[in-house]
Amino acid sequence: MNNLRSSTSSIDETFHLSSSSTSTSTLSLSSSSTSLPNSPKLNHSVGGTSASYLNSSNSSTSSISNNSTSMQQQLLMNNSAKSTSRSNSSLSLSSSQPVFTRMASLSALPSVKSSTSETLTAYHEEFSKPVYDLFQHIKSENRLKEEFLALEYAYQQSSHSTVEGNLKYNTSKNRYTNIVPWDTTRVKLEKIDGLEGSDYINANFIAGGEHYKQYICTQGPLQNTFVDFWRMVWENGSTIVVMLSKELENSRPKCDRYWSESDRIEYDQFAVKMTSIVRDLPREIIIRTFTLTNSQLNQSRIITHYQYEGWPDHNAPNDTEPLRYLMHQINTKQKQSIERDGQRAPIVVHCSAGVGRTGTFCTVHIVMSRIDNAAENDRINFNIYSIVDNLRKQRPGMVQQLEQYLFCYATIADELKQREKAQSR
């Protein structure tokens, strides 16, 4: 990923995954034509059954021709007219609240044809086709860049209502002024009589492949939203919280600490007590166990809190293994919760804004769930474009930039190789 971070405007570079014997792959940009060798069609054991991961694919890897009136140029023009710049990593301040800078590496994206609605529809139809042969698909860097550019353009042309998040009594609850939840999927808290905006929190329900409320994606809590955050966890029966950021990154606050590492701490009717902590230093993962108590109901629940500190803001990790390990831990815990409680509760996922790293996590987790749930000889669709497009219809800006988009593909590729390696033993 280091090379990817310094991606230039060249469109002749090729995206490839290292084909070394290690179980993890390195995303890199190279001026050579190096790419993965064709992967054999194998059946891999998945939960006692087998699934054909790498079948013949009807996915297209053909590059779309360039045009002087490109979608990329219009994106750049549109961005220059907006207050939020995509060309640098700094956070500009608006009154007392920052604006979240989305950092899609547009200078590294190839040009595409015109930006008419007919053309956009054609791109969407092409990029939405099933991807059954993942390794063949990721050979074309230009194809993956074109997918992301089409997502960016479609996102700019989309229109969603954000009335609740922009009401005067709710704006102070938004960490970033320009990341406000879509009204159609926003999480609604139970209303408190006489308190305006008491049902508002900057969070959205996200449908995955398994459940229409598979995730709650939210921003890193602010001090004035701690109570709302724990209300949301309690009211939705969630027992798993995933935190994909540090509290401070580059000396900037990304998430306020909504728990105590030592004392029992109270947030109105809720009390949070950390009962255990396990640190995985090599992977930069911390697993905490909280007891969450609702004093009004005199009830307590166990919350498992997973924090991944090795994921840089506006970017992607250098290695896919820690995230894949984390997801396996979360899946095991969720399975135990379902068996114990008899129902599936949303996984609460947040980073800072709750869109970049959070969206990337959800994208990868959705595909991994497809793999886990595949029956024997099922053809698994590895189309990341369609997943991200669907996520953005539920919460703004999910999967923030190109590096994160490519990381989704790399993570799934590594997972397939790891499972193939385990099966061959």
- Kindly state the DSSP code that residue 17 receives in the 8-state scheme: E
Question: Measuring CA to CA, how many Å separate 68 from each of 62, 64, 115, 178, 208?
Answer: 19, 13, 11, 31, 38
Question: Measuring CA to CA, how many Å separate 418 from each of 58, 94, 133, 411, 425?
Answer: 25, 46, 16, 10, 11
Question: Measuring CA to CA, how many Å separate 369 from each of 41, 46, 130, 331?
Answer: 20, 11, 16, 9
Tell me the torsion sign for CA atoms 196, 198, 199, 203.
positive
Residue 385 CB coordination number (10 Å): 23
On whether the CB atoms of residues 102 and 23 are closer than 8 A, the answer is no
Is position 351 annotated as part of the catalytic site? yes
Type of residue numbered 113: K
On whether the CB atoms of residues 342 and 367 are closer than 8 A, the answer is no
Residues 6+ apart with CB under 8 A from 290: 259, 272, 273, 274, 275, 302, 303, 304, 305
Supply 323's token pair: 């995230």
**DSSP bridge partners of 265:** 272
Q: What is the rounded distance in angstroms from the CA atom of residue 176 to the CA atom of residue 161? A: 17
Residue of 255, 351, 362, 408 with catalytic role: 351
On whether the CB atoms of residues 402 and 408 are closer than 8 A, the answer is no
On whether the CB atoms of residues 200 and 194 are closer than 8 A, the answer is no
| Burial (0-12, 13-18, 19+ Cβ within 10 Å), 60 | middle
| Burial (0-12, 13-18, 19+ Cβ within 10 Å), 55 | middle
DSSP symbols for 23-61: SS--EEEESS---PPPPP--EEEETTEEEE-S-------
DSSP H or E run through 293: strand 285-294
φ/ψ (deg, to 5) at 242: -115, 120
Q: Which residues are catalytic?
A: 351
